Structure 1
Amino acid sequence: MTSAAAALVLSGGAAFALTSGQAPGTRTAGETRLTAATAQVPATFRVYQTNMCMWGPDSSGPCFPKGSAAALAKTAEAKRASLVAQIKYWKPDAITVNEGCSGDIAQVVKRLRAAGYDYSYVDQEAGAANTGHPRPCWSSATRGHSDNAVIARGLDASSRTGGYFEPVAKGSVYQHNRSWVCVNVKGVRVCTAHLALISQDDNGNAPGGHLLQPRECAYIRDRLLAPHGSGATVFAGDTNISRSRVRVHCAPTGFWGLHDLETNGKYNGVSGLQHIYYSGKLTRGGTCGEMHVVADTDHKGYLLDLHPAKTPTRGASCAWRDIRH
């Protein structure tokens, strides 16, 4: 799929791509156009946050291990199959995917639809960096470009907005570019993003993660979430905020939220990076969320069931996961 953002909608067995018309590298300035969802929120709204590390091989074995062309193709297929299996098993209302690939996400949704699951999706390209082009996914053109995506049932593709946090242009001083996307799902506004790692590209030659991550976090708080606090709004994404900075988060006043920290003390390098925030129109009830092993990626999945709330309430006390104590 060549668009920067697309929703796959099937009708009578035919697939149609609905595109936003956004040119690569263009920031969408119209996030305020996405008004609070008006449909009735279901009694339980299940959110499942994932980071699938689909982009391509690097030095991190658990993420996407290097190998022969055949081995890399096998890994890419394993990631697609893994995401399909997770969705079939947990049946979330909305799955947020970071480090996806546009072609892979389209294939995942196609397989779900073929199996009788009524899912569709929107996405936003990522990783344009200073080339002015999104980061291609290894190695087949059918895998598309890197993206962040929301896969959901009851998704309103016409409500989709998305863009980059940083300016994107050929020759830009920005060495990497992170993106976000939001869409209405069953009366809930769902957003996802993948933030810069605090130490990324911090080489003195370009704005590094120590400058970019706080700016991206503020954008989520002030632009994507705070204006929509009067409605049912959820953010789920890989913030790259490490567990050593456990009190740092991107949630505005009036929102609750959780980190994906384990309870057994057996933390790894990605523990706590994934966050879920939700507005006062929702509550987590008696749950603190669930961590689940996802095959063929270095991140676990973070599942949280939310419920409509007439009166703002956090829900269960989750001292080790709460973003506010």
Structure 2
Amino acid sequence: MQRVIIVLTTLALLVAPSAAATGTGASVTVLELNICHGGMAGCYRGDAVMVKAAEVIRMSKPHVLSVNETCSGDVDRFRPAMGPARALFVAARNLDGSPVMCSGSDGQYGNIIMVSARFGGTAEESGVYAAQYTAADGIGELRAWACLPAATLSACTTHLSSDNAPTALAQCRELMSRAAGFPGPTVVAGDFNLRDGGMRDCDRSGFSRRGTRSVLHVYASDDLSFVTTAEIDMMGTTDHPGWLVTLG
């Protein structure tokens, strides 16, 4: 019980100033989640994670939501908690190029990026990486990325190779090179499958980064600054904490 109280208190402290600042455009809140909702991995806990994720989204009120190991059908399930937002889903690919499917009836398996509608923009970009580790990478998927570029705020999500650190690093560098070309403030969030030491080789000028004690990270371009960060206990519904970042 003490653990829950600490987490909720931390969130309350973060959400209140962020909500106040939103009206002036002074802050951007980013929420990164890996929800293990595909149904193929041992961390799968069914729809319990959807309930918990929606609760965390409603409480933290993110302007940018990045979700990894999710299903295409989850986009509409997150909309009520997220509010008006642009959304882009990208599927991971099987080795033959076909989309990886979630177990059950939730559609394709991959990543979601959602950005509050107040930031405008209409462009969408997504794809798979040039570098892929295909020997024994999880369920054998080709890893993918998705971005919503806009002059007011650009945002990307990704889930990198889990079984080969050099491949994950090459994928990270490819995405950060792409993100560096976007207009205006830019945020890149995801499960990079690299801890802090490995991520340092992906860090580049023009961006700063903050990460969890494990593999979830958020990059922000230098026209944004990190104000607060907090890990969120997902209460056993997935094998990753949430990662909540407020940027000024």
Deviating beyond 4 angstroms after TM superposition, the runs of 4 or more aligned structure 1 residues are: 171-175
C-alpha separation in 1, matches of 2:173 and 2:31: 23
Match of 2:207 among 246, 251, 255: 255
Alignment-derived partner of residue 136 in structure 1: 101
Alignment-derived partner of residue 123 in structure 2: 159
Question: How big is the shift at 1:153?
Answer: 1.6
Q: How many residues align?
A: 221
Q: Secondary structure at the match of 1:122?
A: strand
Percent pairwise identity? 25
Alignment-derived partner of residue 119 in structure 1: 85
Superposition map of 1:3-152 within 5 A: 42-58=25-41, 60=42, 63-64=43-44, 75-109=45-79, 111-112=80-81, 117-126=83-92, 128-140=93-105, 143-152=106-115
Matched, 1:282 2:221: no
Superposition map of 1:191-230 within 5 A: 191-197=156-162, 200=163, 209-222=164-177, 224-228=178-182
Question: How big is the shift at 1:161?
Answer: 0.7
C-alpha separation in 2, matches of 1:231 and 1:303: 21
Question: How big is the shift at 1:185?
Answer: 6.5
C-alpha separation in 1, matches of 2:121 and 2:88: 7
Please list every run of 5 or more consecutive structure 2 residues that lacks an aligned counterpart in the other structure. 1-22
> 1:247–1:123: structure 2 CA closer, same or farther, 3 Å change rule?
closer
Alignment-derived partner of residue 292 in structure 1: 232
Question: How big is the shift at 1:234?
Answer: 0.8
Alignment-derived partner of residue 13 in structure 2: none
Question: How big is the shift at 1:164?
Answer: 0.6
C-alpha separation in 2, matches of 1:217 and 1:41: 33
CA RMSD of aligned residues (A): 2.8
C-alpha separation in 2, matches of 1:54 and 1:275: 19
Question: How big is the shift at 1:160?
Answer: 1.2
Question: How big is the shift at 1:249?
Answer: 4.6
Q: By percentage of residues, which structure has more helix?
A: 2
C-alpha separation in 2, matches of 1:94 and 1:252: 22
Q: Secondary structure at the match of 2:46?
A: helix
C-alpha separation in 1, matches of 2:199 and 2:56: 30
Check conservation: 2:90, 2:127, Cα contact below 8 A: yes
* Structure whose CA Rg is larger: 1
Superposition map of 1:233-272 within 5 A: 233-243=186-196, 245=197, 248-261=200-213, 271=214
AA paired with 2:114? I
Please list every run of 5 or more consecutive structure 1 residues that lacks an aligned counterpart in the other structure. 1-39, 65-74, 201-208, 262-270, 308-325
> 1:297–1:136: structure 2 CA closer, same or farther, 3 Å change rule?
same
Question: How big is the shift at 1:157?
Answer: 6.3
AA paired with 2:192? T
C-alpha separation in 2, matches of 1:250 and 1:167: 15
Q: Secondary structure at the match of 2:123?
A: strand
Q: What TM-score do you get using the length of structure 2 for normalisation?
A: 0.79
> 1:196–1:293: structure 2 CA closer, same or farther, 3 Å change rule?
same
C-alpha separation in 2, matches of 1:257 and 1:101: 27
> 1:82–1:120: structure 2 CA closer, same or farther, 3 Å change rule?
farther
C-alpha separation in 2, matches of 1:161 and 1:96: 15
